[in-house]
């Protein structure tokens, strides 16, 4: 999810755990919650590896559990606000809920490292969803401005916001499962909502896509040729990306270049992520260091306007 959402969720959890409901606790909790995303500062040899390694070890539940006592100890030493035990619970929860929430998006998340490098990607919520984020942000904004928790009929709005957002997350998962067809298929909401969904189905010869409005039903279906047979041109890179994308990718030859397309995000004709992995030189395919494929991305395609 986006940084605002992760900060807001962490801050709300911190306020829920801490006996002191202060802006300082909310701020510290929110900042701790963003620690896993510091992996964006790391550099990798190529764009494809960088894409795969994001949400890697820094999003592992095991590693985050290991560093929680250290971070809690530092916070206890420098911020005499709550007990070490409370800091430990707070830090553990805000760190681990970050990657768990990320795993509900389309981008793979390495929750199980070092025991498995499998990327978990449920895909039931878009990376930015106002319905999930706004209640959390309102709660924290009120605390920062008024220096206290918003109360509604003797109930903490902080708790209400936290429960509402998680119930909404469950709702998106239930909707996804209800529209997901059998076979190798993937369903994910279009940007900023949970009403219109994009469904991708992988068949032996074709990959097809259609959109589903939960109030209006299924839209027009489009197909592209399944070209996984081209993977031998750069097998090593394709294998790495196949694991990352759970096999939801395709290959296409454009202007003597072999393009690897990730169709979990964007659309199957106009994906958000695509990489040049080989070039045709003197009638021979040559594997190259993967680089981002520059293309005119059309955001309208993400809503079914092909």
Residues 133-183 have pLDDT tens digits of 999 999 999 999 999 999 999 999 999 999 999 999 999 999 999 999 999
Distance CA(24)–CA(39), nearest Å, equals 25
Q: Whole-model pTM?
A: 0.92
Confidence of residue 284 (pLDDT cuts 50, 70, 90): very high
Report the run of H or E that residue 189 belongs to, with start and end: strand 185-189
- Give the pLDDT band (50/70/90) at residue 80: confident
Q: How remote is the C-alpha of 192 from its chain's centroid?
A: 13
**pLDDT confidence tier of residue 281, bands split at 50, 70 and 90:** very high
- CB contact at 8 A, 10 and 71: no
Q: How many CB atoms lie within 10 A of CB 32?
A: 25
Q: What is the pLDDT of residue 297?
A: 57
Max CA distance (Å), the chain: 75
Q: How far apart are CA 237 and CA 109, in angstroms?
A: 19
For 188-211, the pLDDT digits (tens) are: 999 999 999 999 999 999 999 999
Q: What percent of the chain has pLDDT over 90?
A: 88
Lowest mean pLDDT among 42-51, 216-225, 252-261, 295-304: 295-304
Whether the bond into 67 is cis, omega within 30 of 0? no
pLDDT given for residue 130 in this prediction: 97
pLDDT tens track for 86-121: 999 999 999 999 999 999 999 989 999 999 988 999
pLDDT in tens, 7-17: 999 999 999 99
- How far apart CA 44 and CA 139 sit, in angstroms, is 38
Task: Judge whether residue 305 has pLDDT over 80.
Answer: no
Share of the chain above pLDDT 70, in %: 96
- Evaluate the CA torsion angle 44, 47, 49, 54 in order and state its sign: positive
pLDDT at 148: 96
Average pLDDT of the chain, as a whole number: 94
- Coil, helix or strand at residue 260: strand
Q: What is the DSSP letter of 8?
A: H
pLDDT digits (tens, 9 = 90+) for 289-301: 999 987 665 665 6
- Residue 45: pLDDT above 70? yes
- Look at residue 302 in the predicted model and tell me its pLDDT: 62
């Amino acid at each position: 999810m986006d940084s605002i959402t992760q900060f807001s969720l962490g801050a709300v959890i911190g306020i829920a755990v801490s006996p002191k409901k202060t802006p300082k606790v909310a701020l510290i909790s929110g900042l701790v919650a963003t620690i896993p995303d510091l992996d964006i500062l790391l550099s990798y040899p190529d764009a494809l590896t960088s894409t795969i390694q994001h949400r890697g070890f820094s999003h592992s539940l095991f590693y985050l559990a290991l560093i929680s006592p250290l971070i809690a100890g530092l916070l206890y030493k420098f911020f005499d606000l709550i007990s070490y035990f409370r800091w430990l619970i707070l830090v553990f929860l805000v760190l681990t809920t970050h990657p768990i929430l990320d795993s509900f998006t389309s981008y793979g998340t390495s929750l199980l490292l070092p025991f498995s490098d499998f990327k978990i990607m449920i895909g039931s919520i878009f990376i930015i969803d106002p319905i999930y984020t706004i209640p959390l942000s309102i709660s924290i904004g009120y605390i920062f401005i008024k220096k206290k928790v918003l109360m509604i009929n003797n109930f903490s709005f902080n708790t209400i916001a936290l429960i509402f957002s998680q119930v909404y997350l469950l709702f998106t998962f239930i909707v996804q499962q209800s529209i997901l067809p059998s076979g190798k298929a993937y369903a994910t909401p279009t940007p900023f909502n949970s009403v219109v969904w994009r469904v991708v189905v992988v068949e032996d010869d074709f990959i097809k896509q259609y959109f589903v409005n939960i109030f209006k039903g299924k839209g027009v279906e489009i197909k592209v040729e399944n070209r996984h047979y081209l993977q031998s041109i750069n097998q090593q890179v394709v294998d790495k990306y196949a694991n990352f994308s759970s096999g939801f990718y395709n290959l296409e030859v454009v202007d003597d270049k072999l393009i690897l397309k990730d169709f979990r995000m964007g659309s199957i004709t106009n994906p958000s992520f695509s990489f040049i992995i080989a070039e045709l030189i003197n009638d021979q395919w040559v594997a190259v260091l993967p680089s981002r494929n520059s293309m005119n991305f059309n955001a309208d395609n993400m809503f079914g306007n092909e």
